[in-house]
Structure 1
């Protein structure tokens, strides 16, 4: 991290040293709504500091990577979307739904980059391009909650801290989306798949609250809650202008009423009665980053430089229906301690295997199976450590940090951290690791 960010961090930690220090207990004094408390049950005891100039420079590179990823069908596959999705291992049924709302041009800039800081630079691990972004409610609201704590506000003033306002940027993006269908001040629906609120209701209601706090009329629901009048969707009696889509394709394809639920939404979008934000997650497939790494020589000098700065070496290992790639497997066996294996179509850390955390037999079996099902291998980036002081005991500990950089049409729009203490796996995911803690970023 930059010298400035390190100095500010050390100053904050110094303020946490005394047992009764107000910074040490700032987390306890956060004024959070019930929805926010339920959505963020496990918070790290402090925020993380980042050099604003360094972070924004990384954000500009993320815009370049987004533009490259969304131009892959045109630039690498001659405009043939079928060849592009086949190379990613996406079957006909999935592709039919993905392509339905894509339109002629690329999707709007929107996504979450999962990132490690390797001690000298930010490195991109995954780019979640699509609308189902976990954590946006926290990065949009938690900095403001911290600044309502007097000790934190005083520290922020003394050290010139700021934050990126995800809530404001997302609300502006959704307003602009609504204008494309003539909605002056749009009604937004944050929609899950059928039954999805039982699992993710806390997060979706918190996201809806974030948008309401930024002046939008917003409701959380499930796609099966929609009613259609004259082809326009309604939720809770309100005509919906913009759908912030959290219903995933896998969940929908597994539902017996998939087509009946999706078709009226498709038609409403096509007829200009609603805007689905965003229409498809095809570009969020992990294989797109491997494609960038494999085809980097075909890009411009500036594009190659941006990819080189932020993207670790990665390669496709295989796709569904293909036989084992013997040459690639042997290469990966030789580099086992430096690689991570990732299924291309899964999320939330599912199926991820760190080479150095398993024996050679397990690693080979993983690679062999991955050659048939669709996967990639990527050079490991070692995450940076963030020091945390336990509010109760005063003990200092080091936590691995996974950074989340959120992008909207205005560019870099917010950031957060998921962190775990060293020991055990370094796969940092909220879904299967109870040690993970969240927090927000302050720029300095």
Structure 2
């Protein structure tokens, strides 16, 4: 008599257990797990009605491991000017694709105040572990509604009971952001009243995202700050200090990005703000030079074998564990087997395993997945990117995760995890800097980019339960 081994359990034991529980609770009407999220004006403004039928679950052991790895990667990224570029932030700026004007603005910011860790890691789990696709290190991270999704999902009684029974919890991402802002801009946060915080984007961007930033500004009141959302053009500078609507500003919470600083109008409107920061008249969160470290080009530097002798054994183990193979698009590159090869020939031969990404753009813009392109189009894209601000990255195939299908069963979805990290000591969970998260999900196993912009559904993250 032959026996067969039991099937391997899914990555998310909790997700599988929750699906089994939901099979006993058919979804109906107001009892739908996403009903409260869809009834929230705040959440529908951000995500319309694209909510998953349940949360994602992050086991406590894997949470600790990935957060520790992300903290290590953050330290490595911050050390790149010294380790690779002789201490020059200007050289790092040029290497990651910033033009001279952007570089001058960003490196100016590096001379003021301090810069504390704050970022969102975009990751796939390939069944063996998390792989880091991008590490966005900036104040313009989104995610300030993360805890609202958790709270809305907990209005569904079967989930609330499951979370309680397994000892699960979640982090308030916005709370971590505000604590980090207060620490980074401590010299500008008054002790006797709530700080006035201007949430600021460019004029063009604010015309699109203004309603959501107004929500963000209003939510700051829950964290002991007075928020005002505005664009750069609404700031005036009597006596050198920024004001908006007649209110003097203590801290500017920055929502503009490096790609916005190529517009001469935006650059001119930014200049008096940078002068006010340099003269100590206002705090800027986060410092512009955060953008030097939070882009795909820096991941290519960490991934490149040419720099392996700059890192110790523990650092290399982290890089090997977390980063997919990533290289700048230059005429020759180091292949995964260590051989130096012609880049275009390698890209054509391995089209189905590669994705082409600009180093500085965000939100999935400018990305070309080789497996979604025909050979001629792929060759044109890679050739056009040669010697420019682009990287090639090895494809990461996300493992299927079990999610309720809304009809009493389970469906397989493929997740882009957005996990937030900040400075240690800003929250609980052993003060390791974990600041919550959310997921974006697609039912397409061959999806190039799992993002809200490409139609993905959104869900919250609960952790713990080991």
Normalised TM-score (structure 1): 0.90
From 415, 418, 425, the counterpart of 2:437:
415
Contact 2:27 2:408 in 1 (8 A): no
Look up the SS of the partner of 1:26 in the other structure: coil
Q: What pairs with 1:175-324 in structure 2 (closer than 5 Å)?
A: 175-184=182-191, 185-256=194-265, 258-259=267-268, 261-280=269-288, 281-294=291-304, 295-318=307-330
Q: Helix, strand or coil for the counterpart of 1:350?
A: coil
Q: Distance in 2 between matches of 1:297 and 1:204?
A: 44
Q: How does 1:116-127 map to 2 (within 5 A)?
A: 116-127=124-135
Q: Which of 401, 404, 414 is the matching residue for 2:415?
A: 401
Structure 1 position 13 matched with structure 2 position 19: yes
What SS does the corresponding residue of 1:195 show, helix, strand or coil? helix
Residues 279-288 or 13-22, more deviating: 13-22
Instruction: Choose from 142, 145, 162 the match for 1:155.
Output: 162
**Structure 1 pair 106–68 and aligned structure 2 pair: CA distance change class (3 A):** farther
Equivalent residue in structure 1 for 2:149, among 142, 155, 164: 142
Distance 1:36 1:29, change over 3 A: closer
Alignment of 1:387-398 (within 5 A): 387-391=402-406, 393-394=407-408, 396-398=410-412
1:189–1:244 CA contact under 8 A, matched in 2: yes
The 2-side partners of 1:40 and 1:336 are apart by 33
List alignment gaps of at least 5 residues for structure 1. 320-324
Task: Check 1:83–1:179 CA distance in 2 against 1; reply closer, same or farther (3 A cut).
Answer: closer
Q: Which residue of 2 aligns with 1:61?
A: 69
Q: Which of residues 30, 34, 48 in structure 1 aligns to 2:56?
A: 48
CA contact (8 A) 2:137 2:293 kept: yes
Tell me, in whole angstroms, the C-alpha distance in 1 between the residues paired with 2:68 and 2:274.
33
CA distance in 1, matches of 2:250, 2:9: 46
Query: Structure 2-normalised TM-score?
Result: 0.86
Pair 91,252 (structure 1): closer, same or farther in 2 beyond 3 Å: closer
Equivalent residue number for residue 443 of structure 1: 463
Q: Does 1:426 align with 2:460?
A: no
What corresponds to 1:362 in structure 2? 377
Are the counterparts in 1 of residues 121 and 134 from structure 2 also a CA contact under 8 Å?
A: yes
Q: Report 1:342-353 matches (<5 A).
A: 342-353=357-368
Q: Which runs of 5+ in 2 are unaligned?
A: 1-7, 332-339, 425-432
* Separation of aligned partners in 1, 2:27 and 2:397: 35
Aligned to 1:338: 353
Distance 1:71 1:104, change over 3 A: farther
Please say which of residues 83-92 and 396-405 is displaced more in the overlay. 83-92
Say which is worse superposed, 144-153 or 237-246, in terms of deviation.
Answer: 144-153
Q: CA deviation at 1:176?
A: 1.9
Give, in angstroms, the shift of residue 98 of structure 1. 1.4
Give secondary structure in 2 for the equivalent of 1:67: helix
- In 1, distance between residues paired with 2:31 and 2:384? 48
Q: 2:140 aligned to 116, 132, 135, which one?
A: 132
Tell me if the contact between 2:402 and 2:410 (Cα under 8 Å) persists in the aligned partners.
Answer: yes
Counterpart of 2:237 in 1: which secondary structure?
strand
Does the 8 A contact of 2:10 with 2:401 survive in 1?
no
How many residue pairs were aligned? 433
Root-mean-square deviation over aligned CA pairs: 2.5
Cα deviations by residue, 1:53-84 (Å, 9 ceiling, x for unpaired): 21122111111111111211111011123332
SS at match of 2:417: strand
Structure 2 match to 1:378: 393
1:383-425: per-residue Cα shift (whole Å, max 9, x none)? 122233343x446432210001112223221111011121663
Q: Counterparts of 1:4 and 1:382 in 2: how far apart (Å)?
A: 15
Match of 1:322 in 2: none
- Give the Å deviation of 1:245: 0.6
Paired residues of 1:115 and 1:124 also in contact (CA < 8 A): yes
What's the offset of the Cα at 1:108?
A: 1.8
Which moved further from structure 2: 282-291 or 353-362? Answer: 353-362
> 1:53, 1:24 → 2: CA distance?
32
The structure-2 alpha-carbon separation of the partners of 1:223 and 1:301, relative to structure 1 and needing over 3 Å to count, comes to same
Secondary structure of the residue aligned to 2:169 is coil
**In 2, Cα distance between the equivalents of 1:359 and 1:60?**
39
Q: Is residue 92–residue 292 contact of structure 2 (8 Å, CA) maintained in 1?
A: no
Closer, same or farther in 2 for the Cα pair 1:165/1:296, shift >3 Å?
farther
